[in-house]
Structure 1
Amino acid sequence: MENLDHKRKITIMIAIMSAMLFAALNQTIVGTALPRIVSDLGGIEYFNWVFTIFMLTSSVTAILVGKLSDIYGRKPFILIGIGIFIVGSLLCGTAGTIIHLIAYRGIQGLGAGMIMSTAFTAVGDLFSPRERGRWQGLMGSVFGLASVFGPTLGGWIVDHIHWKWVFWVFLPFGIIAFLLIVSLFPTTERRPSEKIDYLGSILITFIIVPVLLAFSWAGNQYEWTSYTILGLFTASIISLLLFIQVERKVTSPVLPLDLFKNDIFSLSNGIGFLLGAGMFGTIMYMPFFVQGVIGTSATASGLIMMPMTLSMVASSSIIGQYITKTGKYKIFALGGLLLMTAGLISMSFMSSETSNLVAVMNMIIVGFGLGACFPVFTLTVQNAVSHSNLGVATASTQLFRQIGGTVGVAVLGSVMTIRMEDKMKELVAGLPPETDRTGLANFSNPQILMNPDQLDQAKNSLTPEMLPLFEQLVGTLRESLAFSLTGVFLIGAAIMTIAFLLTFFLREIPLRHSNNEDKQAAAE
């Protein structure tokens, strides 16, 4: 595929990026539409599964298809992935209950995992490592654009048409991408003599699913020390031990353990794990600060978050170009991680007095840093492994980043809860002894600050003698939320600092000018 003419390569990349945009938009557009969907379908107690099932199925599929695409080629799996995603999207719009929607979102996740895994790997097939920087940057920009336009478009569709069209509006993108890949994407050489590692595939599924569920549920549905969470972690550890034993014996392992002997592969995935934790942690909890502490409306909050995403898109594209031009990448990773750390440290100094402008400036710094890092660590892994393992190695980078994000959101969420509870205890202890504390129960959840109607209801529920203290209580609650979130950002900065220091140990080997060179030799 590397020898195709440049025009055809660009056309194929447009098709691949269309497929990725189709999948990414369907993922980001759902958030703003979900409240309306739940009001129609019911089952609010299950709404988290709309996201959780997508994450589980896409994560498992990505790593499994990574190895299969190394054996049978990328084209069949990206086409199957697009086809499954189209079917899943079509079915989502027909859902009559929340259970149906969850099942159909699981189908979407299966397709998304195939698309994401094969799309990033296809860049490695089409271009030499020296050329990949610009394309990895552009692929990263696709996710950024989906994050910008998806939620806004989802809100508009729900308000003006019907929530079903959230899932149907982008179906033409998928069909066009499918037809372009059918006609343009070449069929690569297959290795059908390799046996599929069925047992390893089952075991890696039993590693990923429990650990993702544990970190998704811990601190929310269940306590960290509950039997459910401990049981999930135990199941994952047992599966891991069995997986290692199996992979040592099979001839064609689903995830070759020898890859972890490559220090560039292991270190890059470790840094990617930390980057995922910092990235998802910031994206998840910054809206809490903008809405809950500063007091910005949900609509305006989306606009305030937009500069961060746009700066990430710009940085990812620009840095990708520079990597291709210079052949250097370590300096950009270090610079990006340093910017992210600086931005998160700056966020940790914010308070209830912080303006939207200051918050936006901090988010832009984080966005530029994140965008600079995004193209690097997939590239370093691809440049350090043999082409026969390109698919599974690329899929591993996505898996580690996904798990890092899940772990980061869970851990940082627990930090926020603990700090919030400590501050609330301090608040209650500081009230006059004669204060009626029964009305304070309404202020135990910071979500009240992001819902003006709920805030009014809480005010109306207070006894007359508590009303004079209402504004003071709200102000103190904002300070408590600010206290908890600044702790989250500070820990995020610590995580990025560790990633920054680890990057110093990442060996920078030359980016090869051809896929025909011996990749493994280059890493040794």
Structure 2
Amino acid sequence: MEHLTGKQKVTIMIAIMAAMFFAAINQTIVSTAMPRIAALLNGMDHYTWVVTIYMLTSTISTVLVGKLSDIYGRKPFLMVGIVLFMVGAFLCGTSVNITQMITYRGLQGVGGGIIMATAITAVGDLFAPRERAKWTGLLMAIFGFSSVIGPTLGGWMVDHMDWEWIFWIFLPIGIVAFVLIMLLFPKSVRKYNESIDYWGSLFLTLTIVPLLLGFSWAGTKYDWGSPQTIGLFAASLVSLIIFILIERVVKSPVLPLSLFRNSVVTISSVAGFLMNAGMLGALIYLPFFVQGVEGISPTYSGYVTMPMSISMIILSALTGRWMTKSGKYKRFALIGMLIMTAGMVMMAFMNSIPVAIAIMVFFGMGLGFGMPVFTLAAQNAVKPTELGVVTATSQLFRNMGGTIGIAVMGSIMTSRLANNIKTASASGPDLSSADPEVLKQLAPLQNPQILLDKPQLDQLQASLPTEIQGMVEQLVQMLRDALSSSLTTVFLSGAGLVAIALVLVLFLKELPLRSSAVKPGAELEKKQGTAVAEPS
């Protein structure tokens, strides 16, 4: 679609950005509210599953739709993705228990994965890599903008309205996005010389699902060395081997293995995996610090993360322009990973809300520098005919990183919290001689879940007799200290993963971003020879 006029491209980008904003705002609005929603649905033990299932289903749909959109075009998948996302969002608001919430979030994830992958690929269809950098930065800025208003609005709504409206309030935007895509997006043309890789798609799914389930359940539902965990990892390994054998012989593979002979694609994918694993695995627990340790309500919790989103918006837009102007991208990835690593180390030792806000601004700068780079670098390194599948591959690794990171950090969080509470209880208030009725009243304070439901905690403290208020305060502080110590371990673990991504970026080969006037691969041939011009 690079042949379209500038006006036509801008019009199409309006439709794409509307779809992107719809998917993004519906993710960010639940971030600060989900701990409270999970508590209200009596499902804090399955809190990470609400996030993990979304990442799981979006990961699968992302990689499968990549090749399909190369065959059938982007338009039908954008429309299907919006519809599935809207249905999932509506059903989430009807949930009466955590199981239903997890199920409907899974459906939402299918739609979200389709929207995000297809929208980013469509930008690649419209613009050459050098101009694409500017638009990629704007898309990241849109996601950042949704991160500004989403958490704050979600926190306010869960404090002042029925939580169901968190999932329903932006449904009209979904309708607008659907209509814009239907009317403005060019008609898709099927490539009849391409076939669908059904067996490859099946075994790719059978590789991803048990792998992510294994990481999600290990350390929580099952021990890491349990037969169930080992069985899931073994099933994933067997499916991976079968998948590789299939992809070596099929005519049109769903995930061409030849992509990974390209060092730019490989390093970008792995670095994106590690970046998301560390970043999302740790940031998902930021509300636990703000709401649980510091005792801030969800409404004001959103204000803590808002500065991070604002700095990300500014730096994402600027980074896109700088990459377009210079044709370079590696320096921005290096700066971004360095700042993110330092920011997460600082998160491990934050001890107040003002300090947390300052760290969020700093960390958001790192996100702004680093987030737009890896998909753009991978797209720039392959032929235009592989745009959909390489974009899907990049998103696959990012989503898997986020999913595995959340699961692993959840396991670390759970085990550390249990150990910390056990240790703190040994030196805490002596309840052995307490009246049984008093022990019954204090029972909720044995569960750190109470810290995330401030109204319930305030109500409980107000209802207890005056003579045991000192003991109550000790128990609450004990829980907060245990939670804070556990979060320190989580943030440091995330920083370690992002630091590894930083090291990988050092080895990222920088290929000049081609302009629309240059034939794909021509700059590469000129600088490095024709042997590198076919990186796939």
TM range (shorter): 0.7 to 0.9
2:353 maps to 1:390: no
Q: Tell me the secondary structure at the aligned position of residue 2 of structure 2.
A: coil
Alignment correspondent of 1:403: 400
Q: Which has the larger displacement, 38-47 or 514-523?
A: 38-47
Matches within 5 A, 1:163-312: 165-187=165-187, 190-312=190-312
Q: Which has the larger displacement, 105-114 or 233-242?
A: 105-114
Q: How far off its partner does 1:481 sit?
A: 2.6
Distance (whole Å) between structure 1 residues aligned to residue 166 and residue 180 of structure 2: 24
Equivalent residues of 1:36, 1:158 under 8 A apart: yes
Equivalent residues of 1:509, 1:523 under 8 A apart: no
Alignment correspondent of 2:528: none
Alignment correspondent of 1:366: 363
Alignment correspondent of 2:527: none
- The structure-2 alpha-carbon separation of the partners of 1:26 and 1:449, relative to structure 1 and needing over 3 Å to count, comes to closer
Equivalent residues of 2:32, 2:287 under 8 A apart: no
Letter aligned with residue 488 of structure 1: V
Alignment correspondent of 1:75: 75
Distance (whole Å) between structure 2 residues aligned to residue 382 and residue 113 of structure 1: 18
Q: How far off its partner does 1:192 sit?
A: 1.4
* 1:35-84 deviation line (CA, Å, top 9, x unaligned): 89789999898887654443333221111110011122212222232233
Alignment correspondent of 1:521: 533
- The structure-2 alpha-carbon separation of the partners of 1:129 and 1:167, relative to structure 1 and needing over 3 Å to count, comes to same
Q: Tell me the secondary structure at the aligned position of residue 221 of structure 2.
A: coil
2:417 maps to 1:420: yes
- The structure-2 alpha-carbon separation of the partners of 1:207 and 1:152, relative to structure 1 and needing over 3 Å to count, comes to same
Letter aligned with residue 278 of structure 2: G
Distance (whole Å) between structure 2 residues aligned to residue 450 and residue 181 of structure 1: 40
Q: How far off its partner does 1:273 sit?
A: 0.6
Q: How far off its partner does 1:431 sit?
A: 5.8
Q: How far off its partner does 1:118 sit?
A: 0.8
Letter aligned with residue 6 of structure 1: G
Letter aligned with residue 277 of structure 1: A
* 1:414-444 deviation line (CA, Å, top 9, x unaligned): 3333433444444345469997699697665
Letter aligned with residue 449 of structure 1: L
Equivalent residues of 2:417, 2:486 under 8 A apart: yes
Distance (whole Å) between structure 2 residues aligned to residue 236 and residue 242 of structure 1: 10
Distance (whole Å) between structure 2 residues aligned to residue 516 and residue 308 of structure 1: 39
Distance (whole Å) between structure 2 residues aligned to residue 155 and residue 430 of structure 1: 35
Stretches of structure 1 that go unaligned for 5 or more consecutive residues are: none
Distance (whole Å) between structure 2 residues aligned to residue 447 and residue 95 of structure 1: 20
Alignment correspondent of 2:514: 512
Distance (whole Å) between structure 1 residues aligned to residue 37 and residue 469 of structure 2: 36
Distance (whole Å) between structure 2 residues aligned to residue 497 and residue 322 of structure 1: 24
Equivalent residues of 2:154, 2:299 under 8 A apart: no
- The structure-2 alpha-carbon separation of the partners of 1:411 and 1:108, relative to structure 1 and needing over 3 Å to count, comes to closer
Distance (whole Å) between structure 2 residues aligned to residue 30 and residue 252 of structure 1: 39
- The structure-2 alpha-carbon separation of the partners of 1:255 and 1:476, relative to structure 1 and needing over 3 Å to count, comes to same
Equivalent residues of 1:88, 1:104 under 8 A apart: yes
Distance (whole Å) between structure 2 residues aligned to residue 22 and residue 295 of structure 1: 31
Equivalent residues of 2:32, 2:302 under 8 A apart: no
- Percent identical across equivalent pairs? 54
- The structure-2 alpha-carbon separation of the partners of 1:344 and 1:104, relative to structure 1 and needing over 3 Å to count, comes to closer
Equivalent residues of 1:448, 1:455 under 8 A apart: no
2:14 maps to 1:11: no
- The structure-2 alpha-carbon separation of the partners of 1:156 and 1:462, relative to structure 1 and needing over 3 Å to count, comes to closer
Letter aligned with residue 319 of structure 1: T
Q: How far off its partner does 1:294 sit?
A: 2.8
Q: Tell me the secondary structure at the aligned position of residue 83 of structure 2.
A: helix
Q: Which has the larger displacement, 165-174 or 499-508?
A: 165-174
* 1:296-329 deviation line (CA, Å, top 9, x unaligned): 3332222112111222222211111111111111
Q: How far off its partner does 1:295 sit?
A: 3.1
Distance (whole Å) between structure 2 residues aligned to residue 95 and residue 456 of structure 1: 25
Stretches of structure 2 that go unaligned for 5 or more consecutive residues are: 525-531
Q: Which has the larger displacement, 258-267 or 274-283?
A: 274-283
Q: How far off its partner does 1:236 sit?
A: 1.3
Distance (whole Å) between structure 2 residues aligned to residue 230 and residue 471 of structure 1: 43
Matches within 5 A, 1:102-121: 104-121=104-121
- The structure-2 alpha-carbon separation of the partners of 1:382 and 1:461, relative to structure 1 and needing over 3 Å to count, comes to same
Q: Which has the larger displacement, 297-306 or 95-104?
A: 95-104
Q: Tell me the secondary structure at the aligned position of residue 328 of structure 1.
A: coil
Q: How far off its partner does 1:113 sit?
A: 2.0
* 1:215-268 deviation line (CA, Å, top 9, x unaligned): 233333333333333322222111111111111111111000111111111111
Distance (whole Å) between structure 1 residues aligned to residue 403 and residue 15 of structure 2: 30
Q: Tell me the secondary structure at the aligned position of residue 70 of structure 1.
A: helix
- The structure-2 alpha-carbon separation of the partners of 1:76 and 1:473, relative to structure 1 and needing over 3 Å to count, comes to closer
Distance (whole Å) between structure 2 residues aligned to residue 454 and residue 336 of structure 1: 39
Equivalent residues of 2:20, 2:115 under 8 A apart: yes
Distance (whole Å) between structure 1 residues aligned to residue 267 and residue 130 of structure 2: 20
2:316 maps to 1:319: no
Q: Tell me the secondary structure at the aligned position of residue 222 of structure 1.
A: coil
Q: Tell me the secondary structure at the aligned position of residue 249 of structure 1.
A: coil
Q: Which has the larger displacement, 236-245 or 298-307?
A: 298-307
Alignment correspondent of 2:334: 334
* 1:61-118 deviation line (CA, Å, top 9, x unaligned): 1111100111222122222322333444455566788766655544433322221111
Distance (whole Å) between structure 1 residues aligned to residue 13 and residue 333 of structure 2: 24
Distance (whole Å) between structure 2 residues aligned to residue 411 and residue 397 of structure 1: 21
Distance (whole Å) between structure 2 residues aligned to residue 302 and residue 272 of structure 1: 26
Distance (whole Å) between structure 2 residues aligned to residue 30 and residue 226 of structure 1: 33
Q: Tell me the secondary structure at the aligned position of residue 285 of structure 2.
A: helix
Alignment correspondent of 1:133: 133
Equivalent residues of 2:93, 2:165 under 8 A apart: yes
Equivalent residues of 1:308, 1:367 under 8 A apart: yes
- The structure-2 alpha-carbon separation of the partners of 1:88 and 1:335, relative to structure 1 and needing over 3 Å to count, comes to same
Distance (whole Å) between structure 1 residues aligned to residue 135 and residue 314 of structure 2: 13
Equivalent residues of 1:61, 1:113 under 8 A apart: yes
Letter aligned with residue 366 of structure 1: F
Q: Quote the RMSD (CA, aligned, Å).
A: 3.4
Q: How far off its partner does 1:214 sit?
A: 2.5
Equivalent residues of 2:384, 2:520 under 8 A apart: no
